[in-house]
Amino acid sequence: MAIDPNQVSSLLDSLPAAFQDDRTGGAPNFLGRFLLGFEHVLLGVGDAMRPGLEETIAHLYRYFEPGAGLADGERAPKTFLQWLAGWMALTLREDWDELRQRDLIAKAVPLYRMRGTKRGVEEFVRIYSRLGVTINELTTSFQVGVHSTIGTDTMLDGGPPFYFHVDVLLPQADQREAQRAVISAVLDLQKPAHTQYRLTLDTPIFRINVNSTVGVDTLLG
Helices (H), the chain: 30-43, 53-58, 81-87, 98-113, 118-129, 176-190
Per-residue pLDDT of the chain (221 residues; tens, 9 = 90+): 556 667 777 777 777 877 777 776 667 777 877 887 778 777 776 555 566 777 778 778 888 888 877 888 788 888 899 999 888 888 787 878 888 889 889 888 888 888 888 898 998 888 877 767 888 886 655 556 555 566 555 655 555 678 888 998 877 777 788 888 888 988 998 888 889 999 988 877 665 665 555 655 565 55
β-strands 196-202, 133-136: how paired?
Answer: unpaired
User: Any bridge partners for residue 80, and if so which?
Assistant: none
Domain 114-221, CATH 3.30.300 — does that match? yes
Where are the CATH 3.30.300 domain residues in the chain? 114-221
Buried b (16+ CB within 10 A) or exposed e, 83-103: ebbeebebebeeebeeebbbb
Q: Which of 167, 164, 161 is nearest to 201 (CA)?
A: 167
Contacts of residue 214, defined as CB under 8 A and 6 or more positions apart, other chains included, come to 220
- What distance in Å separates the CA atoms of residue 30 and residue 66, rounded to the nearest whole number? 45
- What distance in Å separates the CA atoms of residue 103 and residue 69, rounded to the nearest whole number? 9
- What distance in Å separates the CA atoms of residue 112 and residue 148, rounded to the nearest whole number? 35
Contact by Cβ (8 Å): 196, 163: yes
For the chain, helix, strand, coil in percent to 5 are 40, 10, 50
Q: Which of 12, 18, 193, 36 is nearest to 116 (CA)?
A: 193
Determine the straight-line distance between the first and last CA of the chain, rounded to whole angstroms.
Answer: 44
> Rounded to the nearest 5°, which phi and psi values hold at 214?
-65, 130
**Per-residue pLDDT tens over the stretch 43-93:** 776 555 566 777 778 778 888 888 877 888 788 888 899 999 888 888 787
Q: What is the DSSP string of 53-115?
A: HHHHHHTGGGGG---TTS-GGGS--GGGHHHHHHHTT----TTS-HHHHHHHHHHHHHHHHTT
